[in-house]
Amino acid sequence: MRDENNSPATRYCYHCRTHHPVEEMKLLITKTGSRWRCVKSIEAVKRSKEERDQYGRQVSAANQAEASGRARMLNKIQQER
Could you list the residue range(s) of the whole structural domain that residue 49 is in? 10-80
pLDDT, tens digit, for every residue of 45-78? 888 989 888 888 988 998 899 999 999 999 988 8
Average pLDDT of the chain is 85
User: Does 2 map to a domain?
Assistant: no
**Domain count across the chain:** 1
Are 12 and 37 contacting, i.e. CB atoms less than 8 angstroms apart?
Answer: no
Q: What is the DSSP letter of 54?
A: H
Q: Convert the pLDDT of each residue in 40-49 to its tens digit.
A: 888 888 889 8
Q: Does residue 1 fall inside a structural domain?
A: no
What pLDDT does 2 receive? 41
Residue 17 has pLDDT above 50, yes or no: yes
What is the pTM assigned to this prediction? 0.53
Residue 60 CB burial class (10 angstroms; 0-12, 13-18, ≥19): exposed
CA atoms within 13 A on the CB side of 36: 15
